[in-house]
Copies of this chain bind each other. A is one copy, B any other.
Amino acid sequence: MAIDSNMRARLAEQIQCIRQSDDPLNQYFFEKASIANLPKGQHVCHEGSNCSHLAILLNGTARVYKLGENGKEITLYRVGPGESCILTASCILSHIPFPAFAICETDVEAAVVPASDVRRWLSESSAWQDYIFGLVATRLSNIINVVEDVVFRRMDKRIADHLCNRMDKTGHVLLVTHQEIASELGTSREVVSRILKEFELDGMIKVTRGSIELLDPEKLHQKHSER
Q: A103-128: which residues lie under 8 A (CB-CB) from chain B?
A: 119, 122-124, 126
Contacts of A146 in B (CB 8 A): 147
Chain B CB within 8 A of A223 CB: no
For this chain, the copies found in one complex come to: 2
Q: What is the number of residues of chain A that contact chain B, defined by CB distance less than 8 Å?
A: 41
Chain B CB within 8 A of A28 CB: no
Contacts of A96 in B (CB 8 A): 137-138, 141
Chain B CB within 8 A of A69 CB: yes
Chain B CB within 8 A of A93 CB: yes
Chain B CB within 8 A of A227 CB: yes
Please tell me if the beta carbons of B136 and A90 are within 8 angstroms of each other in the complex. yes
Chain B CB within 8 A of A74 CB: yes
Q: A62-117: which residues lie under 8 A (CB-CB) from chain B?
A: 66, 68-70, 72, 74, 76, 86-87, 90-91, 93-94, 96, 99-100
Please tell me if the beta carbons of B99 and A136 are within 8 angstroms of each other in the complex. no
Please tell me if the beta carbons of B147 and A94 are within 8 angstroms of each other in the complex. no
Chain B CB within 8 A of A143 CB: yes
Binding site for B on A (CB under 8 A): 66, 68-70, 72, 74, 76, 86-87, 90-91, 93-94, 96, 99-100, 119, 122-124, 126, 129-130, 133-134, 136-141, 143-144, 146-148, 150-152, 186, 227
